[in-house]
Amino acid sequence: MRRFTIALGSLFLVIALSAAVSTAAQKHATESAASPQVVLDWNATAVATTIAASKSQPESGLYVGLTQAAVYDAVIAVDGGFHPYLIVPGVPPGSSDEAAAAAAAYGVLVGYFPAQKPALDAAYATSLAGIPDGTAKDRGVLVGQQVAAGLIAARIDDGRNAAVPFAPTPGPGVWQPTPPVSLPALHPWLGAMKPLLLESASQFRPGPPPRLDSPQYARDFNETRLFGALNGSLRTPEQTETALFWTENAAQQYNRALRTFVSARQLNLRDAARALAMADTTMADSLIACWDAKITYSLWRPVTAIPAGDSDGNDQTTADPRWLPLRPTPNHPEYPSAHTCLAGAFSEALSEIAGNDNIDLEVSSTVTGTTREYRHVNDLKREIINARVFVGFHFRTSGEVGFKLGSDVAHWALHHYFEED
């Protein structure tokens, strides 16, 4: 496991005089009795911060994952019980886990988003105001500050925003900028950056998409053409609502559901910090792995493929020059589906937290103003794969492969991180 140990500065040495006292307060045998509210609040703040900073959906997921990793390490340093993710700070005895969580989240977010400092300062002041003043609070803040500084330092050269060339040669099957704006591909660097948990972005790279002249491609093509169209679709009203339900900002929608999931299980602060870290770090890595595959295979989107159906060499497809999807297509390659990569990782993390695949998950959507419930992982899987077809963004195989990729990422990661001592 990768760990980054922060040496205490002279300021911290004064407070942590009883050094050998306890690595993480001797890894408390007793669980934290603190309310999880501080970690739930900072999860919501992390999402809101990325949106206010105009980050794309995949970038938002990455930064929320980093924030939750820091919160986890800060809380586990104080409360013990689980292996640290990355940072092992010095922990003065009697440190407040709530203060550590707030300081870690604040430190990561203000470090990555200095322009959002006024709003973050206000959120931080509110968090600290809810914790009794005193030595425990002060010591917890120092723990969180160490973790935040250590995590940011450890990822200075992680490949974020690197100049990664991506200029695929135009032709049948090859991704092209999508209408109506036709922007360059979103964040080619994401598939080349250092993951949070995985050994490499390509660790679980799937095989290639179906050949354009294959029966499978024809089935996928024709299903999306018929059910994903803006006009003349075979979708039922219920299927249209399903398509729209899952078009909210993914980081916002998944994390709101995650907070509801954690609250419903009445987890304490320590276990809530772990649950949020498990879900958000694996979702971040599922996107990194997904982008590795997207950039590798560079498959065209239905909005390009269907109007050019007479150029793919498949006699089971026909061109529909006026075809448009239900909603404008995101500007990155089709295979695999990023949304189902997220769903696969999310589902695997929820199953691990719940102890089985009966996740009893409640999800709401600000797009449709409705709430849906999913008892089993397979219910969520089926709906999200369908939704990406019904909205016209993807072919079915891409959704299925994406879900498996995300699930594989999370399965591996959760057997290497966040484990009990």
pLDDT band at 34 (very low <50, low <70, confident <90, very high): confident
Q: Tokens for 26?
A: 């001797």
- Please determine, for residue 395, whether its predicted confidence score (pLDDT) is greater than 50: yes
- Please determine, for residue 3, whether its predicted confidence score (pLDDT) is greater than 80: no
pTM of the model: 0.93
Instruction: Average the pLDDT over 386-414 and give the result.
Output: 98
- Please determine, for residue 325, whether its predicted confidence score (pLDDT) is greater than 80: yes
| pLDDT value at residue 200 | 98
| pLDDT value at residue 81 | 97
| pLDDT value at residue 32 | 57
* 12 or 204: which leads in pLDDT: 204
% of the chain beyond a pLDDT of 70: 92
% of the chain beyond a pLDDT of 90: 91
Domains of the chain: 4-154 (1.20.144), 188-202+211-413 (1.10.606.10)
| pLDDT value at residue 27 | 38
Instruction: Average the pLDDT over 367-376 and give the result.
Output: 98
How far apart (Å, rounded) are the C-alpha atoms in residues 176 and 351?
A: 37
How far apart (Å, rounded) are the C-alpha atoms in residues 274 and 326?
A: 38
5, 204, 21: which is closest to 88 by C-alpha?
5
Q: Tokens for 30?
A: 């007793």
How far apart (Å, rounded) are the C-alpha atoms in residues 48 and 116?
A: 10
Average pLDDT, the chain: 93
- Please determine, for residue 31, whether its predicted confidence score (pLDDT) is greater than 60: no
Mode of pairing for the β-strands spanning 358-365 and 4-5: unpaired
How far apart (Å, rounded) are the C-alpha atoms in residues 333 and 167?
A: 12
- Please determine, for residue 149, whether its predicted confidence score (pLDDT) is greater than 90: yes
Rama region for 179: left / alpha / beta (φ>0; ψ in -120 to 50; rest)? beta
